[in-house]
Chain A
Amino acid sequence: MSGIAVSTNINGDGVDFLCQAEETLLDVLRDRLGLTGAKEGCGTGDCGACSVIVDGRLVCACLVLGAEADGRRIETIEGMATADKLHPLQEKFLEHAALQCGICTPGFLMAAKYLLAQNPEPTEEEIRFGLAGNLCRCTGYDKIVRAVQDAANVMKGA
């Protein structure tokens, strides 16, 4: 099959793939690389379910072309936990029941990880603004905000 040859790094591992010019990074992650953690909610950058981090910046994978991944460093939800240990954000999401159906959760976790990397001690308002690009139709957001606050406290102490 012909396509654009892309050489990238995902969650610390070198990855090579071929993709079509119009294929999004989200399609590549899900359909070519089997990394189905990032979800397609809207496909237009509104819902944040496909949030990944590219070269340290939070983006919607649906608004990035696969070909753009060449030479970049990509972090996805699959790289969040280490071999046998969940990330504090993941633990706190479970503890606070900050999810129901779970479709939005990988996106929220990536956005929350980026938020805490930029601002380790966010106020509630800063958390709500920081996560405004992620939509959740189950929880009403409150439990998500509390989980992120609690995770921030744990990570600060670590």
Chain B
Amino acid sequence: MAGGSDLLVRMKGGYIEPNLIVDIKAITGLGEIKQTNAGFTIGAAVPCALMGETKALRQAWPGVVEAANLIGSRQIQGRCTIAGNLCNASPAADSVPALVAAAAKVVVVGPQGARTIAVEDVAIGPGKTSLARGEIVEAILLDKRPPRSGDAYLRFIPRTEMDIAVVGAGVSLTLDDRGRVESARVALGAVAPTVLLVSAAAKAIVGTKLEAAALAALAAACSAACRPIDDKRGTIEFRKKVAGVLAKRAAGIAYQRAGAK
């Protein structure tokens, strides 16, 4: 158990009956955000509220922090973790598209020792992860930002707050010294069984200054990559369309944050 904001709900609902609960918050270091030469190490037990309170992290990775801070209410923010959000493996997890766009790495520890994997390799389907029995996430790693970099996350929900994403879009990019997109990553949530890394969408904006044609190509690539379901939150058609719109807007915000003039 990290934050427990999903575990205790499942226990209460009678869906699971654990024989043993290990509170990883009591493991030294897991509740800390460390800034290193390589970037940031976010311990698996760090509540999302602490991410929002950490100025250096907010400045380097505003998109990751805004995504993490969208999870639940203030009360949930005091408990919930991005490691838990990731390991729940919900296709609609808010922090995951932002982490995938950010090319975050995940330190997994278990009886066989530690291994570091890409964040997009953790979830393999709704509610299923690639973690072996006995393995847990120890930390999530974010790289140090090169100059002229920015990221952003947007989600669509029918309410103004406290809801589950119908579509989520994370974009991270770095500009060259002439203000063109040098490299980019685009990720979409809630439009497939797992969060999608859409390389065709990133390719559509690399080398551009996000002109209208580039943004249209980005949106088209996003819509084409979606494999959503119809459910009470949104139809397939709606999700495909909104994925493109949100990715465009998130790219625009990331571009501004990267210092575009």
- Name which residue of chain B comes closest to A70, CB basis: B26
Residues A60 and B76 in contact, CB atoms below 8 Å apart? yes
Does B12 touch A at the CB level, under 8 Å? yes
Residues A57 and B47 in contact, CB atoms below 8 Å apart? yes
A62 to B77, CA, bound (A): 14
- What is the interface residue range for chain B against chain A? 20 to 34
Tell me the residues in window 1-48 of chain B with beta carbons closer than 8 Å to chain A beta carbons: 1, 3-5, 8-9, 11-13, 21, 23, 25, 47
Does A153 touch B at the CB level, under 8 Å? no
Question: A52-76 toward B: CB 8 Å interface, digit per residue (1/0)?
Answer: 0010011110111101100000000
With a CB–CB cut-off of 8 A, which chain B residues contact A120? none
Residues B75 and A51 in contact, CB atoms below 8 Å apart? yes
Stretch at the interface among A10-18, A78-86, A92-100, A126-134: A126-134
Give the shortest distance, in Å, between B223 (CB) and chain A (any CB): 31
- Name which residue of chain B comes closest to A125, CB basis: B160
A72 to B5, CA, bound (A): 18
Does A24 touch B at the CB level, under 8 Å? yes
A21 to B49, CA, bound (A): 26
Residues B8 and A133 in contact, CB atoms below 8 Å apart? no
Does B78 touch A at the CB level, under 8 Å? yes
Residues B78 and A59 in contact, CB atoms below 8 Å apart? yes
- Name which residue of chain B comes closest to A133, CB basis: B73
Q: B8 contacts which of A51, A62, A111 (Cβ < 8 Å)?
A: A62
Stretch at the interface among A28-36, A40-48, A137-145: A40-48
Q: A63-B5, A115-B74 known; A43 and B25 CB under 8 Å?
A: no
Does B79 touch A at the CB level, under 8 Å? yes
A121 to B13, CA, bound (A): 39
Majority SS of interface residues in chain B? loop
Residues B79 and A63 in contact, CB atoms below 8 Å apart? yes
Q: What number of A-B contacts does a CB cutoff of 8 Å give? A: 72
Give the shortest distance, in Å, between A58 (CB) and chain B (any CB): 5
Residues B73 and A132 in contact, CB atoms below 8 Å apart? yes
- What is the interface residue range for chain A against chain B? 20 to 34
Residues A45 and B75 in contact, CB atoms below 8 Å apart? yes
Residues A48 and B12 in contact, CB atoms below 8 Å apart? no
Q: B5 contacts which of A24, A45, A48, A51 (Cβ < 8 Å)?
A: A45
Q: A59-B78, A65-B4, A132-B161 known; A22 and B11 CB under 8 Å?
A: yes
Residues A132 and B162 in contact, CB atoms below 8 Å apart? yes
Residues B74 and A133 in contact, CB atoms below 8 Å apart? yes
Extra A-B contacts (10), CB below 8 Å, given A65-B21, A132-B74: A43-B12, A57-B47, A58-B75, A60-B76, A62-B8, A62-B12, A63-B79, A64-B79, A130-B74, A132-B161
- 30 A–B contact pairs at CB < 8 A? A21-B21, A44-B12, A44-B13, A45-B8, A45-B9, A45-B75, A57-B47, A57-B49, A58-B74, A58-B75, A59-B78, A59-B79, A60-B75, A60-B79, A62-B8, A62-B12, A63-B8, A63-B75, A63-B76, A65-B1, A65-B4, A65-B8, A65-B21, A65-B23, A114-B74, A130-B74, A132-B161, A133-B73, A133-B74, A133-B75
